[in-house]
Amino acid sequence: MYDGQEFLRDDRWCLSRRALLTGVGAVGAVGLLSACGATGTPAGGAVATAGTVLARTADVPVGGGTVANGVLVVQPEAGTFKAYDATCPHQGVRVGAPRDGVITCPAHGSTFAVADGTRLGGPAPKGLTEVPVRIDGTDIIRA
């Protein structure tokens, strides 16, 4: 008959302190390593394909922008719309909408000009990649 105590005294089922700590350490290391390099929002996924509606003109403020389907759509000056791949060229983290004419990567602080996507500072090796767009009525569409 099994009383529970016999199971605890059976050496076949007991872990040594070293084995237990090694297992716990391995699980912690996996979690830590999976978090490394993900200091922000990873871009992931594909950028919108041609013909995809990215935003409506009214939803993109002058001097600002919005991220949709992996594309950052901006309006550097009234009536002018541009778009860039929202993936930072440094480590592939998604950039945010611009503030005060500057696009910033949340991971390591690379900055880019809203007017043309050029690199202003930070560890990114180059500027953002421009994405062709066209305006159809009030829709901003990937060209």
Q: What is the pLDDT of residue 28?
A: 45
H or E, element range at 104: strand 102-104
- 130 - beta bridge partners? 84
Cβ–Cβ under 8 Å, residues 129 and 78: no
pLDDT per residue of the chain (143 residues) written in tens, 0 to 9: 555 555 445 455 455 555 545 554 544 443 433 333 333 444 455 568 999 999 999 999 999 999 999 999 999 999 999 999 999 999 999 999 999 899 999 999 999 999 999 999 999 999 999 999 999 999 999 99
pLDDT at 117: 97
Closest CA to 89 of 46, 129, 121, 47: 129
Strand duo 71-77 + 65-68: pairing:
antiparallel
Q: Is the pTM of this model over 0.75?
A: no
The helices-and-strands tally (H runs, E runs) of the chain is: 2, 9
Separation of alpha carbons 120 and 110, rounded Å: 7
- Torsion, Cα 36 129 65 35, to 10 degrees, reads -10
pLDDT score of 62: 94
Residues 6+ apart with CB under 8 A from 107: 39, 40, 88, 90, 91, 93
